[in-house]
Structure 1
Amino acid sequence: MMQGILDIDALSVRFAGRNSHFDALRGVSLSLEQGRILGVVGESGSGKSVTGLSVMGLLPQQASITGGRIRFKDQDITARTPRHLRGASIAMVFQNPRAALNPTRRICDQLSDVIRAHESLDSGAIRQRVIHLLESVNFPDISRRMGVYPHELSGGLCQRVMIAMAIACSPSVIIADEPTTGLDVLTQKAVMDLLFRLSRERAMSMMLITHDLGLAAQYCDSIAVMQKGTVVESGSPARIFSNPQHAYTQRLVDACMTMHPAQPHPAGKTTSRKRRPLLEVSNLRKRYANGHLAVDGVSFAIAPGESLGLIGESGSGKSTLSRLVGRLLDPDDGAIRFEGRSIGTIGARDFFRAEQRPHIQLVFQDAAGSLNPRFTAFDSIADPVRRLGPARNPGALRHHVEKCAADVGLAPALLDRYPHQLSGGQCARVGIARAISVDPKLLILDEPTAALDVLAQSEILALLERLRREKGMSYLFVSHDLHIVRMICDRMVILQNGKIVETGNCEEVFQNPRAPYTAQLLAAIPHFRPASQEAAAATGTEFAGS
């Protein structure tokens, strides 16, 4: 193996349980060269994050390195990453910036803490360094916002703060662990362009841990594919993704929507909108107590059996609109009609009593977080049946729950498990089974695959399409991922600042966007272009998200 600035050689990590153990890493070998970006890809549980935590010396107490070694600039850091290296020479950008930032301290103080930990500077010099760091990550309105708390910032701005903390002491290596998960496509592009620029300008090496193959293909110099704690394939992005050698890599590529142009959604040719709409939304408005107008005059309709995609960046009003339609929020103005009857005038607090409640169900973005941690999977699926469905004896209820579980591909053995005992994909299946347990006519899906790896995402989307065909349900599919909407929806509505800027058939919008904002969203999608990247590699030029 060519020696790099960071070398991992045959690394093995074991997690010890009460009565058993689990080998999270089994002989992993990676090399990160100076000023280059290494993408580490794979499904959830493949060992990507454990690799990064091992380098940082941040493994949990129950984990231990059982073999191999980690070397940074010829220094062996396997047993312990020295404190003077962590943060100063090797830094990490975590997946969830809100959880990684201290909620009780202002962002300027948290940046100052990092600098003080490694350098002896007076308060004036530290303040100037903080301002310079925030400028380098394109943080807006620094003078006013540097004194705010993390909860007062968007996810994208919190991630910029995390990046500023990571580069505060000019490290040689940055480990970015899923830095764009949950971010909309425009914010995702901004964050990745920023990391790429900083890597090139400062000659920093970066290990990008991600399940988004499109991001890895577009921004990385080399790729390592991990499965079940081992590296199964490595090489250049052009070679890995255009000619994968390992069967697992082939599965990842086949499952990744950003690798291949999606085909027009088959249902789009057959769904009729000449029938009376199932759902009609007219001139809907919602303003929050702080004065923010989240939804401003929105109108659309969904036909029986139709799937409508709701697209927009963070803060565009997508989630507010879905909560209004799902009757979890009350509108300030406008009308919501379901099967020709007004439901917008029924208060959100009283809608659980309405006869339409079982017919409109929601699937939430955070599958695990939306499940009651005290409920087993069985209880989560049975709960709406007990509350909204006809009375059933225990035997009939169990049979119904097991049928719902079978419909979503959830094994019967998993019904007795609690949410923390399930994977992300399994939690997503429980959430869908819970929603369909009362035979809804309209399913509102709020970013149902946002946090899932590419294989789990592909499985959930195939499941949703099958359920729609079999049960004749309509979908309001909320997402910031245009490829997913193109794959599962007949039509799409593009929201910006609470207003509809474009609507139309998915394929027409993709091929001929009319609104500049729509074109901007489409341009921000990470695409893999083998010919372009091979040409860039041959000429030594840069190839990234420009």
Structure 2
Amino acid sequence: MHAQTAPRTRGPLRPAEAAAAAVFGSLTAVLTVITGFVPVGVAQVLVALPIAFLAAAGRVRSVVAATVASGVVALIAAGPFAVATVFVLAAVGALVGFADRRWGKSAVFVIFAGAVPIGLLLAAGVIGLLLLFEQTRVLLLDALASSMRGTVRAFEAAGAGDDFVRTFEQTIDLMVRLWWVWIGSAVVVGIVGTALLCFGIFRLVSMRSTWSTQSAEWPSGARSGEPNPLPVALRLVTYRYPGASVDALSDIDLTIGPGEFVAVVGRNGSGKSTLARILAGLEPTAGLVDRPGPVGLGQPGGTVTVFQHPESQVLGRTVEEDLRWGIDDVDAEAVLARVGLASMEDRPTEDLSGGQLQRLALAGALARRPSLLIADEITAMVDAASRSALIDLLAEVAREGTTVVLVTHLDDEAAAADRVVHLAGGRIVAAPAAEPRPATVVAAAPTFPQPVLELRDVTYTYADRTPWAHTALGDVTLTVCRGEGVLVVGANGSGKSTLAWIMAGLYRPTRGSCLLQDTPTADLRGDVGFVFQQARLQLQRPTVAKEISEVAGLPHTDRHYVAAVLHRVGLGPDLVDRPIDRLSGGEMRRVALAAQLARTPRVLILDEPLAGLDVPGRRELVSILAHLRAVDHVTIVVISHDLHGMEEVCSRTVVLEAGRIVDQIGVVTT
């Protein structure tokens, strides 16, 4: 396969496009059913909006797929009239979206010109149906005339004159005779009005949003036939992301054969994940990728990928349902036991911890018996024991004949591989010399401890009072003092993240209380800052400046203030106007931290802050947290399985096991 320029999007729907079509189609169907019960005609414009947003960023076939899907759902839920509504309003939404993408603010004239023929066609269809079904038309007009005559009688009883009554009666007779004129006109005016109103709402929303495309496209023309991805040879492969000014990969020469265990190592931003995508079938912008047959991405016997954040790969409602997604011939019990999820077949996936989700994603990959398994930072969310077990499992899979490519930034993980490829700046380089580790400064406990956050007999049960109830925390009692640093550790599934969400006020305890100076944290806003495991999930604005300014509650974007906040987390002013999607993983985490600090929280909670960071990035973040606690006296609670460096931030360690505190090291006496 040879490519000189980024390929134009063609062919069948990509996974992301299919997902978008499904989401927007479902939203369209739901709105169609709901607005059918709303006695306000203008509410129907809401049905057109999801398709408008999809058309503004997607291909025609995405819009068609969403429309058909929503039509099927509407037919089942509300009958044929709802289907007609879906198709008409989807056409209006598609007109709005495509016109806005092509002409921007000037699209209003195009929308008006396009809505008129749509309205005329619909009017012709309505009139034709009324001509065809004469009895229905007569009943409709009789009902309308009777209703209007009732209104006339009401006016007459109120003292209206004979001339007024006579004129009203003549108008009714005229409407009955010329029914096709006013019904057709009403349909045309309704469609044009709906299109213009839809465009107005669309513009208001889009002004506060950005519609980004995928940062990397997956192959558009996968070859048919049995998967045969190995051996794979990369010759002078270069890749540049759309809109980027520099190459993510440059002049890569690499050959990977059957049964190898290859580790790809490098700092954050070195191009590791991009190389993994090339191996999984992404077309390079330049260079040659040579394989004997199709990549077979996701197919049995082909290529499978497991990413750092498994949430995007887990689709099933239960563990076994997810494992069997897309395949039938699998021994679920044996595969789950192999990845450490024995006897969890019926467990709901939403109750799994981050590490358990990662194991499930790996199980789904192994169930396909792939020729090539690409594991991208899959140990970032698991505890030390599980990390070692996963690496041993990958080595075992390689010995059984499956080629394994492990993307990692940890040298001890790479040591298990047969061969290590080092990346730096998008190029393959020689192994760098080991950097000396600076001396560790151990954090001190508060001199005058003052309780600020108190958990009293906290229990939390997922899906409480249902057959799927699962208790994640039981009778947890914990006190955190002002200016203290507390590290919460435990194996995957021990309840660490659930505890973090309760402390942050995002979950309300099933029993017990979580209080910030005598007020339940679930009733507070902004007093407890929380940085998620996946920082990208909480970055909701298009740029760094907008994110920090709006989270801080500023009435406008203050670039100087944003630059000052970024300085607190070790980021330069050059990132102020940077789009969120152009940040590295480490930068996203620090921007999320900066946004939370902008709210001046009394307690700051970080869930797995070191996950996925390389060694220099980890040292820098630890240094920032230590400074915040020592100099700014910020109370910090860190939820982590990664202990390296945390002694510089946290003076106390709380150990969780099966949802209960089993040990505390360095307890503060209050």
Question: What is the TM-score of this pair, normalised by structure 2?
Answer: 0.57
Q: Work out whether residues 93 and 162 of structure 1, in 8 Å CA contact, stay in contact via their aligned partners in 2.
A: yes
Paired residue for 1:88, among 301, 304, 310?
301
Counterparts of residues 208-223 of structure 1 (less than 5 Å): 208-217=406-415, 219-223=416-420
Shift of 1:265: 4.3
Q: Partner of 1:478 in structure 2?
A: 639
Counterpart CA distance in 1 for 2:515 and 2:355 is 35
Q: Partner of 2:457 in structure 1?
A: 283
2:635 alignment partner AA: S
SS in 1 for 2:566: helix
Counterparts of residues 391-430 of structure 1 (less than 5 Å): 399-430=560-591
Counterparts of residues 443-458 of structure 1 (less than 5 Å): 443-458=604-619
Counterpart CA distance in 2 for 1:309 and 1:84 is 40
Q: Work out whether residues 316 and 322 of structure 2, in 8 Å CA contact, stay in contact via their aligned partners in 1.
A: no
Counterpart CA distance in 1 for 2:574 and 2:297 is 48
The count of aligned residue pairs is: 434
Q: Work out whether residues 319 and 360 of structure 2, in 8 Å CA contact, stay in contact via their aligned partners in 1.
A: no
Q: Partner of 2:446 in structure 1?
A: 272
2:519 is the counterpart of 1:321: no
Paired residue for 2:552, among 369, 381, 385?
385
Larger CA Rg, structure 1 vs 2? 2
Counterpart CA distance in 1 for 2:240 and 2:429 is 21
2:663 alignment partner AA: E
Shift of 1:446: 1.8
Q: Partner of 2:651 in structure 1?
A: 490
Shift of 1:495: 0.6
Q: Work out whether residues 486 and 636 of structure 2, in 8 Å CA contact, stay in contact via their aligned partners in 1.
A: yes
Counterpart CA distance in 2 for 1:176 and 1:423 is 19
Q: Work out whether residues 405 and 430 of structure 1, in 8 Å CA contact, stay in contact via their aligned partners in 2.
A: yes
Q: In the TM superposition, what whole-angstrom CA distance separates every residue of 1:116-157 from its partner, at most 9, and x where no partner exists?
A: xxxxxxxxxx64666665565565238x54xx8865755555
Identical aligned residues as a percent: 30
Q: Partner of 1:30 in structure 2?
A: 254
Q: Partner of 1:192 in structure 2?
A: 391
Q: Partner of 1:292 in structure 2?
A: 470
Shift of 1:304: 3.0
Shift in alpha-carbon separation, 1:433–1:166, aligned structure 2, 3 A = closer
SS in 2 for 1:279: strand
Paired residue for 2:263, among 29, 39, 43?
39
2:242 alignment partner AA: G
- Over the residues paired in the alignment, what is the CA RMSD in angstroms? 3.6
Q: Work out whether residues 424 and 452 of structure 1, in 8 Å CA contact, stay in contact via their aligned partners in 2.
A: yes
Q: In the TM superposition, what whole-angstrom CA distance separates every residue of 1:413-446 from its partner, at most 9, and x where no partner exists?
A: 3222332232222222221222222333321112
Q: Partner of 2:240 in structure 1?
A: 15
2:266 is the counterpart of 1:67: no
Shift of 1:318: 1.8
Counterpart CA distance in 1 for 2:297 and 2:604 is 52
Counterpart CA distance in 2 for 1:206 and 1:81 is 18
**Structure with a larger share of its residues in helix:** 2
Q: Partner of 1:351 in structure 2?
A: 524
Q: Work out whether residues 408 and 432 of structure 1, in 8 Å CA contact, stay in contact via their aligned partners in 2.
A: yes
2:417 alignment partner AA: C
SS in 2 for 1:483: coil
Q: Work out whether residues 356 and 493 of structure 2, in 8 Å CA contact, stay in contact via their aligned partners in 1.
A: no
Counterpart CA distance in 2 for 1:498 and 1:316 is 5
SS in 1 for 2:599: coil
**Structure with a larger share of its residues in strand:** 1
Q: Work out whether residues 108 and 130 of structure 1, in 8 Å CA contact, stay in contact via their aligned partners in 2.
A: no
Counterpart CA distance in 1 for 2:369 and 2:341 is 18
Counterpart CA distance in 1 for 2:529 and 2:322 is 43
Paired residue for 2:430, among 233, 237, 246?
233
Q: Partner of 2:622 in structure 1?
A: 461
Q: Work out whether residues 98 and 151 of structure 1, in 8 Å CA contact, stay in contact via their aligned partners in 2.
A: no
Q: Work out whether residues 12 and 25 of structure 1, in 8 Å CA contact, stay in contact via their aligned partners in 2.
A: yes
SS in 1 for 2:407: strand
Q: Partner of 1:531 in structure 2?
A: none
Shift in alpha-carbon separation, 1:486–1:267, aligned structure 2, 3 A = closer
Q: Work out whether residues 316 and 325 of structure 2, in 8 Å CA contact, stay in contact via their aligned partners in 1.
A: no
Shift in alpha-carbon separation, 1:230–1:279, aligned structure 2, 3 A = same
2:660 alignment partner AA: K
Counterpart CA distance in 2 for 1:336 and 1:138 is 33
1:17 alignment partner AA: P
1:23 alignment partner AA: D
Shift in alpha-carbon separation, 1:167–1:266, aligned structure 2, 3 A = closer
Paired residue for 1:310, among 460, 480, 488?
488
Shift in alpha-carbon separation, 1:493–1:34, aligned structure 2, 3 A = same
Counterpart CA distance in 1 for 2:648 and 2:656 is 19
Shift in alpha-carbon separation, 1:496–1:164, aligned structure 2, 3 A = closer
Q: In the TM superposition, what whole-angstrom CA distance separates every residue of 1:382-415 from its partner, at most 9, and x where no partner exists?
A: 234327xxxxx869x5543332122223332322
Q: Work out whether residues 322 and 364 of structure 2, in 8 Å CA contact, stay in contact via their aligned partners in 1.
A: no
Q: Partner of 1:257 in structure 2?
A: none
Q: In the TM superposition, what whole-angstrom CA distance separates every residue of 1:232-252 from its partner, at most 9, and x where no partner exists?
A: 125xxxxxxxxx44xxxx4xx
2:376 is the counterpart of 1:177: yes
2:279 is the counterpart of 1:55: yes
SS in 1 for 2:586: helix
With 496-505 and 432-441 compared, the bigger mean Cα shift is at 432-441
Q: In the TM superposition, what whole-angstrom CA distance separates every residue of 1:286-315 from its partner, at most 9, and x where no partner exists?
A: 334434333222233333322110112333
Counterparts of residues 359-374 of structure 1 (less than 5 Å): 360-374=528-542
Shift in alpha-carbon separation, 1:170–1:386, aligned structure 2, 3 A = closer
Gaps of 5+ in 1: 71-75, 115-125, 235-243, 255-259, 388-392, 507-546
Counterpart CA distance in 1 for 2:298 and 2:592 is 43
Q: Work out whether residues 12 and 24 of structure 1, in 8 Å CA contact, stay in contact via their aligned partners in 2.
A: no
Question: What is the TM-score of this pair, normalised by structure 1?
Answer: 0.68
Gaps of 5+ in 2: 1-229
Shift of 1:66: 1.8
Q: Work out whether residues 271 and 425 of structure 2, in 8 Å CA contact, stay in contact via their aligned partners in 1.
A: yes
